[in-house]
Amino acid sequence: MKAQDFISAQDITTDELLGLFELAKDMKGNRKKYFRSREGMTLAMIFEKPSLRTRVTFDVGIQQLGGNGIFLGPSDINLGKRESVFDVAKNLERMVDIIMIRTFSHSICTDMADHAGIPIINGLTDHEHPCQALADFFTLWELRGDLKGKKLTYVGDGNNVAHSLLLAGARLGVSVSVATPKGYEPDAGVVENAKMDAQKFGAKIEVTNDPVAGVANADAVYTDVWASMGQEAEAEERKKIFSPYQVNSELMAKANPDAVFLHCLPAHRGEEVTDEVIDSKQSVVFREAENRLHVQKALMHELL
């Protein structure tokens, strides 16, 4: 990878994406081959938001590469309050080899990358979730091979996950449709950037308020919780607004017959997705969750 950091899905080229997929596939099938490949390296994991998959996959991933992980929770740092991002970056760059940060404001992540002289990985911000998009498209690549010409439809809030799917999908030649209620569309700047890339790689980017139209001809249907962390006060209102966007068997039937179902998890069963969909043969959500481990191992291997 040419970039030192991985803050956005736009930080990685198409060739680099496909190279990471090949490496992740090899790592997945030949774990012992890469044991100790990054021996002695230390990953600092900064968590301002709670996590299951991000914490476990990064911690296990660095261990499987022969390195060590250090968990730093909100009470350990309290970024921007107890200590400035600049000071944290300047301290950690002298102590560890790479930093993963899972936080709220995207500017915290970009500031950390600006100030630290070691690689920074965006484990999630309110604006993007690029590691999740890596796992999502790696999963589709495993199942379908060449992704050019495929279509992924995201149904729900135009949030950080939708942003990273748009940006990564466009560079892979995947047409991405986002079906969301009015007023909850993804960031206009992200959509425009994705459209520019999509033109280069023969894909289409679409934002619609019609979930049925959105999933037409889809090879993958994706959803996420209707209220993300930090939006708990809006949860009840969002349930009313998003209920027509539930991914159920009727909506899945509008996609291609062999379409797969994706979800970044955790899922609120009975809200954004029904049990019959998430537990169906079309669902690959747990394979997708496992693949966070493999693509993040590949990412760390390359950045280190």
pLDDT in tens, 176-227: 999 999 999 999 999 999 999 999 999 999 999 999 999 999 999 999 999 8
109 classed as catalytic: no
Looking up residue 249, the CATH number of its domain turns out to be 3.40.50.1370
pLDDT of residue 79: 79
132 classed as catalytic: yes
Same domain, 84 and 147: no
pLDDT of residue 81: 77
Instruction: Give the percent of the chain with pLDDT over 70.
Output: 100
pLDDT of residue 145: 96
Sorted by sequence, the CB contacts under 8 Å of residue 11 that are 6+ apart come out as 3, 5, 130
The residue-averaged pLDDT of 4-15 equals 97
pLDDT of residue 93: 98
Same domain, 206 and 117: no
pLDDT of residue 60: 98
Q: Residues 171, 238, 263, 292: which is the catalytic one?
A: 292
In a domain, 217, yes or no: yes
Same domain, 209 and 255: yes
294 classed as catalytic: no
In a domain, 297, yes or no: yes
pLDDT at 82 over 90: no
pLDDT at 230 over 80: no
pLDDT of residue 250: 98
What is the length of the chain? 304
The tens digit of pLDDT for each residue in 259-299 reads 999 999 999 999 999 999 999 999 999 999 999 999 999 99
Q: Residues 5, 264, 282, 296: which is the catalytic one?
A: 264
- Phi, psi of 99, deg, nearest 5: -125, 135
pLDDT at 80 over 80: no
Same domain, 23 and 142: no
pLDDT of residue 283: 98
pLDDT of residue 34: 97
The tens digit of pLDDT for each residue in 22-52 reads 999 999 999 999 999 999 999 999 999 989 9
Is 295:20 a contact under the CB 8 Å cutoff? Answer: yes
Q: Residues 38, 53, 102, 106: which is the catalytic one?
A: 102
Is 194:176 a contact under the CB 8 Å cutoff? Answer: yes
In a domain, 1, yes or no: no
pLDDT at 232 over 80: no
Same domain, 50 and 191: no
In a domain, 251, yes or no: yes
- Count up the domains in the chain and report the number: 2
Q: Residues 38, 53, 127, 129: which is the catalytic one?
A: 129
Rounded-to-integer distance, Cα 98 and Cα 299, Å: 11
Same domain, 102 and 17: yes
Is 167:200 a contact under the CB 8 Å cutoff? Answer: no
pLDDT of residue 7: 98
- At 155, is the pLDDT very low, low, confident or very high (cuts 50, 70, 90)? very high
Cα-based distances in Å from 269 to 213, 223, 247: 23, 11, 10
In a domain, 195, yes or no: yes
- At 231, is the pLDDT very low, low, confident or very high (cuts 50, 70, 90)? confident
Same domain, 80 and 203: no
Same domain, 136 and 97: no
Same domain, 145 and 264: yes
Rounded-to-integer distance, Cα 62 and Cα 300, Å: 8
Same domain, 18 and 124: yes
Q: Residues 53, 55, 224, 296: which is the catalytic one?
A: 224
102 classed as catalytic: yes
Angle ∠(157,245,191) on CA atoms, nearest 5: 40
Residue 295 is part of which domain span? 9-129+291-303
In a domain, 4, yes or no: no
pLDDT at 229 over 80: no
In a domain, 86, yes or no: yes
Same domain, 122 and 138: no
Same domain, 63 and 159: no
pLDDT of residue 181: 98
Q: Which two tokens stand for residue 127?
A: 């604006």
The residue-averaged pLDDT of 74-88 equals 86
In a domain, 2, yes or no: no
